[in-house]
């Protein structure tokens, strides 16, 4: 057994071993294996780097002057391949975890197809966006970002939304998230962001959570992150379902037409089921009952024929209008308000087939932001530049070598012909002796494809400027869009965001970090900082010196690069609020029907039929499993017992009639709690005849908690058959939640 430590063979050239060490002998080895551990600790200490008071260097010891900006042409130009600092940093980061993904490790995926609504040749020459009769196969992977493969689906986190189009011109990967912006502006900071949000390295705690010191220490030093922080702390960070969340390409890309006309484009995925989220207390319970909730929901929906659908939307900005906005189109921490540039919905994606093997498909699929087709090209977004390098580098490690494109799930439908050979896991058997170009021995094949014949050619853009590590001046408005997002939210959405910040910062132990974050929130909106501080029991500092913006060049005047004050003229954007979406149908919603022996079968069947006709599912929940004996002598199958499920797994609750049934339910504390919990998660509750008494026993009423009026989410029909209430019940479920109940509770105190 060999223990690495002060062995001279492990020292840098010219260094001497520690004279007090036992290197070169077996002293300390026995301690390391006999359980005392002292010798092992001493040996590990020699190769453990603490990081106290050190200067930043490369792995070769070269001092780094600027670790904040990629080397570019001009302030806004393309990133340069010669940036060895970027390549070393991201290469090391990409290879840090095997075999699961460094980020987006926990995923769920499905097959489907995309169909464009009409010919989009006026916008782009991409073939899959031309013919409405063509169905382009797709494979979509959803994921959380920070957690490992074994973490919960319900973490407050960004969700990945990656779509692989198997087009006739090759694979196109639209790799995005469920939020339109990101934490950082430049890819060189991506390893730092992920290191900060991951479990802290000294104890590997906490898993899949941002509520800890290192994340907020980093964020408090990065004013550019404030916009994204508010998105994650909003209810967008905990989707109700993968089928009910938006997707965004995040970056500005380019559309290019057949005649070479270029425009900037932002991609959106709009779910036809609407955008809905869980609330935090509910998410905590769902995570405990079923940490696979989102994955199971997607699987069961597709398996049951309720195929999820999204419309592809685009915001198109002519190249001539690149600079007409107050923000920079190349800044991934900014979005284009839909009121400025409307989203055009140009096609629809349907997921209609689950995977056959999770590992072979969901785990081995390899996405890459650089996989494009003719008609789609890149902008000079400095965050995108790093992604174009990082994806390939990551797949080389994760999937064992350069032939990951030959894994079945990654193979294009279009034929692939080139002179790339050999390597680990090569599956193609290449015949002949020619593996180079140009050649005559192989008839010149494979030959280059003219752009007019479908070949890809990079859009010709003029680039000027000095070679330096800088950003454009508009990149320094870090707070205006954060304030716009906050002001666009409904009162209950803002309240949830405040509570999330209180929870997260309440987990931070280092007081200086909390104070610095309150200072950053003060820059967004003083009232926001004040509301958060009340829950923390910490006053907003009267004055706090915020950190110098880390992206200020060393040779520049800091005043010229100070964060731009909030643009108070920026109006709220209704499109950013989930509250301002129109109520929709109840397709694929799951409704619990509470029942016990002696239930009125007629009321159950009438409700089940109506919900099914509206596209929803219903499940019988009873005090026990097996079957129910109904009042009319019939029986019905029980889907869940009160021991195996909770109200958080459902979108609404219906209590069926039947004196014996309700009497048994009323004696069961779990049934009363089921109704009570659903009420305080602001869901629709309905009851008929005797079922109303269970609602009464659950200590909830038909009026709002402060008595200010009737509760639209409570439908109690104390006499008669169920039929008259069905339409009202379905309409109330379509509202998703009844936030007036929460407002009334806050007014009551």
The catalytically annotated residue of 104, 111, 681, 738 is 104
Could you tell me what percent of the chain has a pLDDT over 70?
90
Q: Is 173 helix (H, G, I), strand (E, B) or coil?
A: strand
The per-residue pLDDT for range 687-726, each reduced to its tens digit, is 999 999 999 999 998 999 999 999 999 999 999 889 999 9
Q: Residue 276: what pLDDT?
A: 94
- Confidence (pLDDT) at 470: 84
DSSP bridge pairs for 262: 256
Hunting for tokens 């509202």 — which residue is that?
Answer: 735
Q: Domain coordinates of the chain in residue numbers?
A: 8-45, 92-212+234-409, 473-576, 590-748
H or E element: which one contains 318? strand 309-318
Instruction: Supply φ then ψ for residue 693, to 5 degrees.
Output: -70, -30
CA distance to 83, 203, 587, per residue, from 368 (Å): 21, 32, 33
Q: What is the secondary structure of 241-283 as a DSSP string?
A: -GGG--EE--S-EEEE-TT--EEEEEEEEEETT---B--HHHH
pLDDT computed for residue 27 by the predictor: 37
Query: 312 CB contacts (<8 Å, ≥6 apart)?
Result: 114, 267, 268, 269, 270, 345, 346, 347, 348, 349
Widest Cα–Cα separation across the chain: 93
Percent helix, strand, coil in the chain (nearest 5)?
35, 15, 50
pLDDT at 21 over 60: no
CATH of domain 590-748: 3.40.50.880
Kindly report the backbone phi and psi dihedral angles of residue 602, in degrees, each rounded to the nearest multiple of 5, phi listed first: -60, -45
Residue range 340-363: average pLDDT?
Answer: 95
DSSP symbols for 507-552: T---HHHHHHHHHHHHHH-HHHHHHHHHHHT-PPPSS--PPPPTTS
The domain over range 92-212+234-409 is classified in CATH as 2.40.180.10: yes
**How far apart are the C-alpha atoms of 657 and 654, rounded to whole Å?**
10
Looking at residue 342, its pLDDT comes to: 97
The span from the CA of 453 to the CA of 687, in Å, is 65
Q: Tell me if residue 6 falls in helix, strand or coil.
A: coil
Top pLDDT among 341 and 20 is at 341
Do residues 193 and 183 make contact, with C-beta atoms less than 8 angstroms apart? yes
Extract the tokens encoding 108.
């769920």
| Weakest mean pLDDT among 472-486, 516-530, 572-586 | 572-586
66: helix, strand or coil: coil
Distance of alpha carbon 38 from alpha carbon 30, whole angstroms: 10
What confidence score (pLDDT) does residue 521 get? 96
Please tell me the distance from the alpha carbon of residue 693 to that of residue 677, in angstroms, as a whole number. Answer: 16
CB 500, CB 280: distance < 8 Å: yes
Q: Which residue has the higher pLDDT, 646 or 4?
A: 646
Which CATH code fits 473-576? 1.20.1370.20
Report the alpha-carbon distance of residue 352 to residue 657 in Å, rounded: 38
User: Rounded to whole angstroms, how far apart are CA atoms 687 and 672?
Assistant: 13
How far apart CA 633 and CA 565 sit, in angstroms, is 72
Binned at pLDDT 50, 70 and 90, residue 425 comes out as confident
**The token pair that represents 198 in the structure block:** 């991951």
Residue 274 has pLDDT above 90, yes or no: yes
pLDDT at 554: 62
Structure token digits, residue 442: 């192989």
268 Cβ neighbours under 8 A, 6+ residues apart = 180, 246, 247, 248, 249, 312, 313, 314, 315, 343
Say how far apart CA 271 and CA 579 lie, in whole Å: 15
* pLDDT higher than 90, residue 8: no
Cis preceding-peptide flag for 659 (omega within 30 of 0): no
Residues 168 and 413: their CA atoms lie apart, in Å, by: 7
Q: Which two tokens stand for residue 83?
A: 């940036």
Bridge partners (DSSP) of residue 549 are none
Does the structure show a pLDDT above 70 at 50? no
Q: How far apart, in Å, do the first and last CA atoms of the chain sit? A: 66
pLDDT at 24: 37
* Higher-confidence position of 622 and 584: 622
Mean of the pLDDT values across residues 158-162? 98
pLDDT in tens, 248-267: 999 999 999 999 999 999 99
Q: How confident is the model at residue 18 (pLDDT cuts 50, 70, 90)?
A: very low
**Are residues 360 and 278 in contact, defined by beta-carbon separation less than 8 angstroms?**
no
Q: Provide mean pLDDT across the span 514-541.
A: 95
- 3 state SS of 560: helix
Contact, 346 vs 43, CB < 8 A?
no
> Mean pLDDT for the chain?
89
* Range picked from 54-63, 309-318, 400-409, 533-542 for highest mean pLDDT: 309-318
Same fold, 92-212+234-409 and 473-576: no
User: Is residue 588 helix, strand or coil?
Assistant: coil
* pLDDT value of residue 437: 87
Residues 192-225: tens digit of each pLDDT:
999 999 999 999 999 999 999 999 999 999 999 9
φ and ψ of 548, to 5 deg? -60, 135
Of 723, 597, 705, which Cα lies nearest the Cα of 714?
Answer: 705
Give me the half-sphere count of Cα atoms (radius 13 Å) on the Cβ side of residue 487: 18
On the CB side of 639, CA atoms within 13 Å amount to: 15
Name which of 56, 57, 24 is nearest 43 in CA terms.
24
pLDDT tens by residue, 139-154? 999 999 999 999 999 9
pLDDT of 447 > 70? The answer is yes
CA–CA distances in Å: residue 731 to residues 241, 346, 373: 20, 29, 44
Mean pLDDT of 430-447: 88
Q: Is 104 a known active-site residue?
A: yes
Catalytic residue among 6, 177, 403, 597: 177
Top mean-pLDDT range of 403-417, 555-569, 632-646: 632-646
Under the banding of pLDDT at 50, 70 and 90, the label for residue 49 is low
For residues 350 and 315, the answer to whether their CB atoms sit within 8 Å is no
Q: What is the tens place of the pLDDT at every residue in 89-122?
A: 888 888 776 578 889 999 999 999 999 999 999 9
Whole-angstrom distance, CA of residue 337 vs CA of residue 343: 10
From residue 366, alpha-carbon distances to 41, 147, 400 in Å are: 40, 19, 12
pTM score, whole prediction: 0.89
Supply 697's token pair. Answer: 């026993």
pLDDT confidence bin for 469, thresholds 50/70/90: confident
Which one is predicted more confidently, 567 or 195? 195
Instruction: For 437-495, give the DSSP string.
Output: SS-STTTTPSPP--GGGT----------S-EES---GGGG--SHHHHHHHHHS-HHHHH
- The mean pLDDT value for 153-162 works out to 97
pLDDT of residue 551: 54
Amino acid 420: pLDDT: 85
């Amino acid at each position: 057994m060999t223990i690495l430590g002060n062995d001279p063979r492990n020292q840098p050239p010219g260094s001497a071993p520690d004279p007090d060490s036992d290197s070169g002998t077996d002293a300390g080895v026995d301690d390391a294996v006999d359980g005392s551990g002292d010798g092992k600790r001493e040996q590990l200490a020699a190769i453990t780097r603490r990081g106290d008071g050190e200067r930043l260097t490369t792995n070769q010891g070269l001092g780094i002057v600027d670790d904040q900006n990629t080397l570019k042409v001009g302030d806004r130009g393309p990133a340069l391949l010669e940036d060895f600092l970027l390549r070393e940093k991201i290469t090391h980061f990409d290879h840090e975890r095997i075999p699961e993904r460094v980020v987006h490790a926990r995923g769920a995926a499905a097959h489907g197809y995309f169909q464009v609504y009409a010919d989009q040749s006026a916008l782009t020459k991409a073939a899959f966006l031309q013919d409405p009769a063509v169905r382009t196969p797709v494979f979509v992977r959803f994921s959380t970002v920070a957690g490992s493969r074994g973490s919960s689906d319900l973490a407050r986190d960004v969700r990945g939304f990656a779509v692989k189009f198997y087009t006739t011109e090759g694979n196109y990967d639209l790799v995005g998230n469920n939020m339109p912006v990101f934490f950082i502006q430049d890819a060189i900071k991506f390893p730092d962001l992920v290191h900060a949000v991951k479990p802290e390295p000294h104890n590997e705690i906490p898993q899949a959570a941002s509520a800890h010191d290192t994340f907020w220490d980093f964020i408090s030093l990065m004013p550019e992150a404030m916009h994204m922080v508010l998105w994650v702390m909003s209810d967008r960070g905990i989707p109700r379902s993968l089928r009910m969340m938006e997707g965004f390409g995040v970056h500005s890309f380019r559309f290019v037409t057949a005649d070479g006309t270029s425009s900037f484009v932002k991609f959106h995925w709009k779910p036809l089921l609407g955008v809905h989220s869980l609330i935090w207390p509910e998410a905590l319970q769902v995570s405990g009952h079923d940490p696979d909730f989102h994955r199971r929901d997607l699987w069961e929906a597709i398996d049951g024929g309720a195929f999820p659908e999204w419309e592809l939307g685009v915001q198109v900005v002519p190249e001539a209008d690149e600079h007409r906005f107050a923000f920079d189109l190349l800044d991934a921490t900014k979005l284009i308000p839909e009121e400025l540039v409307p989203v055009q919905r140009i096609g629809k994606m349907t997921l209609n087939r689950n995977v056959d093997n999770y590992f072979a498909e969901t785990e081995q699929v390899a996405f890459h932001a650089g996989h494009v087709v003719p008609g789609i090209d890149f902008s000079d977004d400095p965050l995108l530049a790093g992604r174009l390098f990082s994806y390939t580098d990551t797949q080389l490690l994760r999937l064992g070598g350069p032939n990951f494109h030959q894994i079945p799930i990654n193979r294009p439908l279009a034929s692939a012909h080139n002179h790339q050979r050999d390597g680990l896991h090569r599956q193609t058997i290449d015949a002949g002796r020619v593996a180079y170009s140009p050649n005559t021995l192989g008839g010149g094949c494979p030959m280059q494809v003219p752009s007019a014949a479908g070949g890809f050619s990079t859009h010709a853009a003029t680039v000027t400027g000095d070679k330096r590590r800088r950003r454009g001046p508009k990149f320094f408005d870090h707070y205006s869009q954060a304030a716009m997002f906050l002001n666009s939210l409904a009162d209950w959405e803002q309240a949830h965001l405040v509570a999330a910040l209180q929870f997260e910062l309440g987990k931070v132990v280092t007081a200086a970090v909390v104070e610095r974050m309150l200072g950053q929130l003060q820059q967004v909106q003083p009232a926001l900082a004040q509301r958060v501080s009340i829950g923390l029991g910490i006053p907003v500092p009267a004055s706090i010196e915020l950190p110098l913006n880390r992206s200020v060049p060393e040779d520049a005047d800091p005043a010229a690069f100070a964060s731009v004050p909030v643009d108070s003229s920026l109006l709220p954007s209704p499109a950013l609020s989930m509250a301002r979406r129109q109520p929709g149908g109840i397709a694929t919603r799951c409704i619990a029907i509470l029942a016990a022996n002696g239930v009125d079968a007629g009321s159950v069947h009438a409700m089940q039929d109506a919900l099914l006709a509206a596209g929803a599912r219903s499940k019988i929940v009873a005090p026990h499993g097996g079957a129910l004996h109904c009042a009319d002598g019939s029986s019905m199958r029980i889907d869940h017992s009160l021991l195996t499920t909770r109200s958080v797994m459902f979108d609404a609750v219906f209590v069926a009639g039947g004196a014996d049934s309700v009497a048994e339910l009323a004696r069961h504390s779990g049934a009363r709690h089921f109704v009570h919990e659903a009420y305080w998660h602001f869901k629709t509750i309905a009851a008929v005849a005797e079922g109303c008494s269970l609602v009464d026993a659950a200590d909830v009423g038909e009026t709002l908690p402060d008595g200010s009026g009737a509760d639209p989410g409570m439908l109690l029909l104390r006499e008669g058959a169920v039929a008259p209430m069905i339409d009202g019940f379905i309409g109330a479920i379509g509202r998703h939640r009844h936030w007036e109940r929460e407002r009334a509770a806050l007014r009551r105190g």
